[in-house]
Every structure is written in C-alpha cells, then in structure tokens.
Amino acid sequence: FLTAYAAREAAACGVTLTGTLAGVILGPGVYCFDNAAALTGTLTLSGSSTDQWLFKIGQAGIPGALTGNSFDVVMAGTASACNVTWWVRQASTMNTSNFQGHILAGAGVSFTGGTYKGNAWSQEDVTVTGTPVTACAAP
C-alpha cells in the first residue's frame, strides 16, 4: 500500500478539477483537486479497456478528503473501472453512490449504500455498510 500510495502521490497533475463533476465526461489522464472534493451527480469516464485514470485529491500540506453523495461513476466505451485510481490525501466517504475505481486513502474509507466496483486501501480502516462490492484484480 505505502509504495502504491507514494507512487500515485508523485504523479504529475494533468488537469486541475473543481466542482461536483456532475454531467462531466473525461477521457484518460491525471486529474487533480487542489483540496477536498465533494462530488454529486454522474461522472462519465470514456475510453478503451487499456486507458488509465488517476484522480488526486489534496496535495502536500493541503487537506484533501473525497466525499460522494449520490455520486455515480459511469464507464463508457470499453473503459474499465479496474483502470481508475482515486488517490486521496485524507479520508474517502461515499454515501448512496455508485462508485467505481480503486481508492488509496491516507485516512479511513467508508461506503454506505449504493454500489462499489474496485478495491479500497487506506492507512486507517475501510468500512462497508449496505454496499455490494465487486473487486478488481490487484493492480
């Protein structure tokens, strides 16, 4: 975990994002939120089965938590949820969200309701309550 977490932290940011990502369609790349990300609505990731997405929330010295409330991640084309990584400086909390992609969090991870496709790792704990999980092969 620590090696994977550090490697994603070091990745250069391609595009800085703001807002809820509702209605946004993104191709493969490295996307960053300078600080916390509070997401709602539907985000579509469009690409091929080999394309990769990295979302970085927070940066050195700046807090960055990931929160999803009724947030859905949809894959388009032949894109795979198993090729999406969400690197989070602090905690990740998904509430009634249909979330896809691996989570690497610097604090706890929690899912309540909705669905989850991916793997979740954290430096604290991972809590899943009423959320069906479909795991990916380890990256």
- What was the pLDDT predicted at 61? 75
Q: What is the pTM of this model?
A: 0.95
Computed over every residue of the chain, the mean pLDDT equals 95
Task: Report DSSP state, residue 9.
Answer: H
- What was the pLDDT predicted at 60? 75
Q: Name the token pair of 35.
A: 């600080």
Q: Tens of pLDDT along 87-109?
A: 999 999 999 999 999 999 999 99
